[in-house]
Amino acid sequence: MSFSIIILAAREGTRMNSKIPKVFHKVGNIPMIFHVLNTSKLLKPKTISIVISNELIKYKNVIKKNCKNIKFAIQSKQLGTADAVRCALNEKPSTNSDISLILYGDTPLISHISLKKCLERFKKRNSDLCVLSMTPPNTNHSYGRLITKKDRLEKIIEKSESKNNQNLCFACQGTGEVKVIKNIAQVGPYHLGKEIKEKCTFCKVENKIIHNRQNTERTLH
């Protein structure tokens, strides 16, 4: 199976509040981008390309020390994921293969074993697109949701796109919306916070959210 890897690393990472580019922040004393490159090399792809911004051009030699045969593509304007992939595919010589595996430069903890399984399943099912997802331990997060039907991806919804600013149910992959069914103003004898119970309109799974002065906790029931 011939495939190429495209690593997206052009985002500025303004939330990091640092002059260091986001992908060069260290995890385990190694820049995140090097984790992704090392994982990519273990998969032995036809080519490895990395999409960078104009600000990251000065880091090209540093990246090449980790991966000598890497190809670079420049995304001058931040126009989204699809545009970044287009920048890589339009590079000459072409990086096109039978399959393109898209990775993010700021996601360093995905193992090559997980990616290999994803590629194998993609080939076995003869799919047009395969998305590797994960299930977080709780629903108190800002991740988007992959909406699936019979194990097929229907659409991707960002949390900010959920209707009426309500949460999408993670238990049923966002098929239903989470509605507040009970709002208890006080929790415990010391009135430190409040408890809200929510229920999915589709799978009927309930969440219990406890707000207090220290944090917010959401659990599935």
Written in H, E and C, the secondary structure of 30-82 is EEHHHHHHHHHHHCCCCCEEEEECHHHHHHHHHHHHHCCCCEEEECCCCCCHH
Domain at 76, CATH number: 3.90.550.10
Better pLDDT: 14 or 74: 74
Please check whether residue 139 is in contact with residue 166, taking contact to mean a CB–CB distance below 8 angstroms. Answer: no
Q: What band does 191 get if pLDDT is binned at 50, 70 and 90?
A: very low
Better pLDDT: 91 or 185: 91
pLDDT of residue 70: 92
In a domain, 139, yes or no: no
- Residue 50: partners with Cβ closer than 8 Å, 6 or more residues away: 6, 7, 9, 33, 37, 63, 70, 71, 72, 73, 105
Half-sphere exposure of 155 (CA within 13 A, CB side): 7
Report the DSSP pairing between strands 30-31 and 26-27.
Answer: antiparallel
Greatest pairwise CA separation for the chain in angstroms: 69
Q: What's the domain range around 212?
A: 145-220
Residue where one domain finishes, among candidates 67, 94, 125: 125
In a domain, 138, yes or no: no
Whether residues 11 and 94 fall in one domain: yes
Whether residues 46 and 84 fall in one domain: yes
In a domain, 133, yes or no: no
Whether residues 29 and 116 fall in one domain: yes
Better pLDDT: 182 or 11: 11
pLDDT of residue 155: 77
pLDDT of residue 149: 73
DSSP 186: -
In this predicted structure, which of 115-124, 128-137, 191-200 has the lowest mean pLDDT? 191-200
In a domain, 131, yes or no: no
pLDDT of residue 83: 93
In a domain, 17, yes or no: yes
Query: Look-up: residue for tokens 């420049």?
Result: 74
Whether residues 121 and 14 fall in one domain: yes
* pLDDT beyond 70 at 7: yes
Whether residues 160 and 87 fall in one domain: no
Smallest Cα–Cα separation from 158: which of 56, 81, 65? 81
* pLDDT beyond 90 at 101: yes
In a domain, 66, yes or no: yes
pLDDT tens, position by position, 120-178: 988 888 888 888 887 766 655 667 777 777 777 777 777 666 554 455 555 555 555 55
When divided into structural domains, the chain yields a total of 2
Say if pTM beats, i.e. exceeds, 0.75: no
Mean pLDDT of the chain, nearest integer? 76
Average pLDDT over residues 64-92: 89
